[in-house]
Amino acid sequence: MLSTSQQRVILVTGANKGIGYEVVKKLVNELPLNNNLILLGCRDLKRGEDALIRLGSPPNVHLLHLDVSLRESITHATNKIKCKYGGQLDIIINNAAIGELELTVDIARTMFTTNYYGIKTLNEHLFPFIRENGRVINVASISGSILLSEASKDLQEKYLSSTLTTEQLDCLVEDFISAIETNTFEALGYNPKSSYLIYSVTKAAVIALTQIEARQWSGSKNVLVLSVCPGFCATDLNRNAPGARPAELGADSILHVVNAPQNELKNGCFYRDGQQLPQVYMIDDKN
């Protein structure tokens, strides 16, 4: 086993199943073998242990108890990485996410706590650990880009602003959550008929957050901050929707931005299957 100074140290959140599990599985099989030390982030340790067994208990995969919806769990995981792995990371893959269709304030708060605030808080804690030429990968969705294409020009400009701050983005998020209670989406510029409304707004926020983080950290250690869409894959998140593509293909989409040469990627940008996507994705009428 190589030491952490010789291996890439990679954290994958939400990695005990679905796309996250497939990412870990593919990283385990990369050549040269054992070139990666993988921290399999899992909210439920028993499920993490089961995932480890399914992987064949490779010595270069270590469980990390991590619930990104809880600040104390993020703090505990941060301390463990500092103590056990020398506070060294090369890649963070923020894959953990949840999705619900019910349109309530409580559901929205729960989803944003994991899908947006969890990523933001974890990155703030762990960025100091990222080594030279490291990468932060925020898993988003094209649904966030489509949602913005259906929004008002004023709202689009707010999300796309090159001077947007995390505080301003938090305000956009909180205004949206408040609008659920008062049913005032349209007044804010959202199209209430947009598909998977809450989930899509969480992902629009993640794409915008990625650009903010890229600006904030662009001068530090040559680190890339990228967002990526794995595509519509059959997972527990969508109850293994019929017609969805395999989770393995979603993992490939994520691993492209993990492994592509630095000069082939643009800091802060959004990718799917190796192709850069716009922050506002216009689709043809139902095509």
Tokens for 265? 């990627």
Give the rounded percent of residues in the chain with a pLDDT score beyond 70. 97
Q: What is the pLDDT of residue 285?
A: 38
Q: What is the pLDDT of residue 237?
A: 76
Q: What is the pLDDT of residue 31?
A: 74
What is the set of domains in the chain, with CATH numbers?
Answer: 8-102+117-142+210-277 (3.40.50.720)
Q: What is the pLDDT of residue 241?
A: 73
65-83 pLDDT, tens digit per residue, is 999 999 999 999 999 999 9
Q: pLDDT tens per residue, the chain (287 residues)?
A: 566 777 999 999 999 999 999 999 999 998 787 899 999 999 999 999 999 999 999 999 999 999 999 999 999 999 999 999 999 999 999 999 999 999 999 999 999 999 999 999 999 999 999 999 999 999 999 999 999 999 999 999 999 999 999 999 999 999 999 999 999 999 999 999 999 999 999 999 999 999 999 999 988 899 999 999 999 886 877 767 787 798 999 999 999 999 999 999 999 999 999 999 999 998 763 33
Q: What is the pLDDT of residue 168?
A: 98
Closest to 154 measured CA to CA, from 122, 186, 123, 189: 189
Q: What is the pLDDT of residue 287?
A: 31
